[in-house]
A and B are shown apart, each in its own frame.
Chain A
Amino acid sequence: SQQGEEDPQALSIQEGENATMNCSYKTSINNLQWYRQNSGRGLVHLILIRSNEREKHSGRLRVTLDTSKKSSSLLITASRAADTASYFCATVTDRGAQKLVFGQGTRLTINP
C-alpha cells in the first residue's frame, strides 16, 4: 500500500508558468522527499525536507511541509519543457524504518 497521495494526478501548463504539486500522507514522518522520473527511466532525487523544517529551496524548486496537515507541496518556478516528467513524493516514517514509501505521482507536462 502507498502512504501518499499526489494531487493533481496530471498537470499541463505552458512553459514559463509555475507548477505546483501537492502530496498528502498518513503517518508521522522523519523526512519527506521528492523524486522525478522521466519516461522509461529510474527516479532521480530532487530534494529532502525533514519533519522539523517548514520550507526548503533548491534552484527553481521550493518545497513546503505542514506536519499538522500531513501535507507537502512542490513548486517549480519558471517551468521549462525539460521539466516534463512524473513527480513523486516519498516519506520515511519516524519509526526507524528504512524504506521510502512513494505516492502515486503527478504527471507534469510543460507545453512549449
Chain B
Amino acid sequence: GAGVSQSPRYKVAKRGQDVALRCDPISGHVSLFWYQQALGQGPEFLTYFQNEAQLDKSGLPSDRFFAERPEGSVSTLKIQRTQQEDSAVYLCASSPRTGPTGANVLTFGAGSRLTVL
C-alpha cells in the first residue's frame, strides 16, 4: 500500500476486555515496530519484528501485551484484560532497512487511539 494503515482508529474498551489492533505496513517493508504514546509524551518502544520474527519485545509493559506478525506482513497487537493505564495511542511503523548500521527511517501509521473506561 501507499502508507502504513492502522485499524481501528479509535477503540473504546471496558476495563477487563481484550482488544486487538491491526497494522498493515508498507508492502515489502521488512521491519515493523509498535510504539505506545501517552497524551503529551513521546512514543515509547514496545516491540520490533524483522519479517515474521519478533526480535525485540523488551518494551512490552506486561504479559497482557502480545504482538504477532505471522506471515511477515500484517501485524496485530493484542492487549488482554485491559486496564485504564493502557489508554494511549498505539503507533505502528515500518521500514525497509535491516542490519545494525542501516539507517532505520520509519514510516508511521496514524495510530489507534485506545480508551479504557
Chain A residues within 8 Å of B, Cβ to Cβ: 2, 4, 30-31, 33, 35, 40-45, 48, 50, 88, 92, 95-105
Contact = CB atoms under 8 A, between A and B. Distances in A.
Contacts of A101: 45
Contacts, number: 68
29 contacts: A30-B100, A33-B105, A40-B110, A41-B110, A41-B111, A42-B4, A42-B108, A42-B109, A42-B111, A43-B43, A43-B106, A43-B108, A44-B108, A92-B103, A92-B104, A96-B101, A98-B48, A98-B55, A98-B98, A98-B102, A99-B45, A99-B48, A99-B104, A100-B45, A102-B35, A102-B43, A103-B42, A104-B42, A105-B41
Interface of B: 4, 31, 33, 35, 41-45, 48, 50, 55-56, 59, 91, 93, 98, 100-111
Given A48-B105, A105-B42, 12 more contacts: A4-B42, A30-B101, A40-B110, A41-B111, A42-B108, A45-B105, A48-B103, A96-B101, A98-B50, A99-B104, A102-B35, A104-B42
Contacts of A102: 35, 42-44
Contact of A98 (B4, B42, B56): B56
A97 B56 contact: yes
B44 A2 contact: yes
Contact of A88 (B31, B42, B55): B42
B49 to A, nearest CB: 10
Contacts of B41: 104-105
Contacts of B103: 30-31, 48, 50, 92
A74 B4 CA distance: 26
A105 B50 CA distance: 27
A98 B31 contact: yes
Contacts of A48: 103, 105
A33 B106 CA distance: 10
Contacts of B109: 42
A103 B109 CA distance: 19
A33 B107 CA distance: 12
